[in-house]
Structure 1
Amino acid sequence: MNYFLTVYTTTATAWAAPAIFYPFGSSAGDIEHLEFDNDSFQYVDFSAPFTYFGRKYSSIYVNYNGLLTFNQSLTESHPEPFPTYGNEDYIAALWTDLDDIGIGKYWYQEYTNGSVLDQATQDINQYFPNRGFTASWVFVVTWDYVLTWDMNAYDRHSDPPITFQVVLISGGGFSFMMMNYGDCAAISYPVEAGYDTINSTDYHVIHYHSNGSYIPNLKNTTNVNVPGRWAFLVNNGTENVIGLQMKLGSYLDLTQTQNIESVLQLGASRFPSTFLIGKEELTYHSS
């Protein structure tokens, strides 16, 4: 009797970070920290201040619960729903219970030159055009495969992961923030994604829920038409408008009360203002 042995082989597919992610990890020269419990944090000094809704910060706390704070560490694993009306500026990349007993990794790096600044300049000018923005400083924080319980699975990047990233960008008096989401496994803990400010004068909720069953969908959400990416102007909270643009259907629209009021208000402006009337463009300069 003849016996045949059939051997099946599999080829592991090398894991690659989502294309929208900025470079991170040992190959990018990041500072690496292993997660030992979600009560941990890292205090990081900046080489240049970052303006966040009118307040300049020269350092930041990278909390292992997926939260960035400026004034103090905050390691609470259960998020507070925004707005909190509290005394802290929050950046909640994915604020939740990410305790994974030393398997997931947390990376960060500050950039003041090189290709990462070029990438940030290109991205910001795409999402916030007409500024001629040039990035002079970038800070990247990445939570990589957090909540992965098996070290072998982490090494292979084979278990359902939770991987996300925050990118802070500044230059020329402007400050921007991006949040990038890759694969995020569903979890049973409360989850908050977004940002909040002191007294909640400015805040935005990307997602909040009492459990994390929704978070696998984060990689498909966006406010800049790039799935998985959210971008915000955060230096003052509101646009600094230089000049005014109005689009009117015809010259007759100038006789409408609300449009007359808008034109009269331009008298107090020292900036050129553009009106699009049909297909013609008029530019108003105050004297």
Structure 2
Amino acid sequence: MGGRIGRGDGPRTGPCGAGGLGREQLPHARAPTAALLYPSGVELGDRRTPLADDGASPPVPLSVPFHFYRRTYHTLYVNNNGLVSFGAPETQYTSDPFPLPDGRALVAPFWADVDVRVAGRVLYRQSRAPGILARATADVGAAFPHLPFTAAWVFVATWDRVAFYGATVAKVNTFQAMLVSDGRLSFIILNYGDIQWTTGAGSGGDPRSGLGGIPAQAGFNSGGSRLYFSLPGSRTPAIAHVGATSNVGLPGRWLFRVDDFSLPHGCVYNDLTDHNECSLFDHLRPVPARHCSLQGSSVLQATVRIEKKLKCIPNLNDVDKLLLNQALESVGK
């Protein structure tokens, strides 16, 4: 499969790849400071994934089942390479494009070749603390104001100032994946702090910059071929600017309902067809609070077909123009 590198390979030699920096040569990991990120840290009860290349947590039993489209999960894994996975840990360090045909169910805030032996840490916890539940309830409510919802459980995974494999430069990324549920409705929140690199050396990236090669994939894959979402810029250099994008009007945050594929402002992806009323680029142009449907091999592709006229909208910022033009090129003009 194109872009699949390393799945099933043995561990790579060396503490951080040939020519890489030792962990002590990079700044010590600090707590995330971006306003959108939820608090994390061992003092809050977070666990840490192993300090290993392509490592993952043990299976994490969930105190509340998580409904992810047509499946319900009772355990998950937090993987060093920017993924939360269901069913099995994920060691693949070069991303594949979504959708994945092999049935893997993944939440991918930033699927790339992370190496916490060089710098950073990966933290996770599930919580029913009143403060975090109230904040999650408010965040979901702001995005879906007409949907009654009170969070009963939150799972937070944080990649805190993590370096890339083979790094010879002190560049680190901070990002977060959250699962939120009331026991019936399920949501994914992806939060982004500082993103300084896109690609590890094992994926063709430049060890001096963390750029080039096959960049990170971001979004989620339900385990089927139709229900997935790929964030604009995935597997292109534009993913470096993911912190400037959003579907909820807050740069650095993407939020989805995933018991039934739904986005803020009423956009729903299912098997129906209505190509006239929908825009997933709601950070570019507001859409009415009404339901609409998309059909196609890719949510992004279906959106681009609808939104070609966005190329003519004035006052798009440079990131929006870049993402849109790359998306248009990917599906043909």
Q: Which amino acid aligns with 1:231?
A: L
Note the 1:149-228 alignment, pairs <5 A: 159-171=170-182, 173-186=184-197, 187-188=210-211, 189-190=213-214, 191-207=216-232, 210=235, 213-228=237-252
| Root-mean-square deviation over aligned CA pairs | 2.5
Q: Does 1:114 align with 2:95?
A: no
The equivalent of 1:46 in structure 2 is: 62
The equivalent of 1:73 in structure 2 is: 89
**TM-score w.r.t. length of structure 2:** 0.61
Q: Which amino acid aligns with 1:195?
A: F
Distance 1:34 1:148, change over 3 A: farther
Query: Matches of 1:130 and 1:210 in 2, distance apart?
Result: 34
Q: Which amino acid aligns with 2:196?
A: A
Decide whether the 8 Å contact of 1:42 with 1:63 is kept in 2. no
Q: Which amino acid aligns with 1:173?
A: R
Q: How much identity, in percent, do the aligned residues show?
A: 33
Decide whether the 8 Å contact of 1:34 with 1:104 is kept in 2. no
Deviation at 1:208, TM superposition (A): 5.2
Distance 1:42 1:66, change over 3 A: farther
Note the 1:117-156 alignment, pairs <5 A: 117-147=133-163
Distance 1:41 1:15, change over 3 A: closer
Decide whether the 8 Å contact of 1:39 with 1:75 is kept in 2. yes
Deviation at 1:84, TM superposition (A): 1.6
Q: Does 1:97 align with 2:113?
A: yes
Distance 1:56 1:181, change over 3 A: same
**Range 162-171 or range 33-42, more displaced:** 33-42
Q: Which amino acid aligns with 1:166?
A: A
List runs of 5+ in structure 2 lacking aligned partners.
1-29, 198-209, 263-267, 270-333
Decide whether the 8 Å contact of 2:31 with 2:160 is kept in 1. no
SS of 1:108's equivalent in the other structure is strand
Deviation at 1:55, TM superposition (A): 1.0
Q: Does 1:236 align with 2:236?
A: no
Deviation at 1:54, TM superposition (A): 2.3
Distance 1:199 1:34, change over 3 A: closer
Distance 1:209 1:195, change over 3 A: closer
Query: Matches of 2:50 and 2:85 in 1, distance apart?
Result: 19
Query: Matches of 1:82 and 1:129 in 2, distance apart?
Result: 29
Distance 1:208 1:217, change over 3 A: closer
Query: Matches of 1:218 and 1:121 in 2, distance apart?
Result: 24
**The structure with more radius of gyration:** 1
Deviation at 1:207, TM superposition (A): 4.1
Query: Matches of 2:234 and 2:249 in 1, distance apart?
Result: 24
**Range 136-145 or range 96-105, more displaced:** 96-105
Deviation at 1:114, TM superposition (A): 1.6
Q: Which amino acid aligns with 1:205?
A: S
Deviation at 1:235, TM superposition (A): 0.6
Deviation at 1:35, TM superposition (A): 3.0
Length, aligned pairs only: 219
Decide whether the 8 Å contact of 2:120 with 2:163 is kept in 1. yes
Distance 1:135 1:76, change over 3 A: same
- Indicate the structure with greater strand content: 1
Q: Which amino acid aligns with 1:113?
A: A
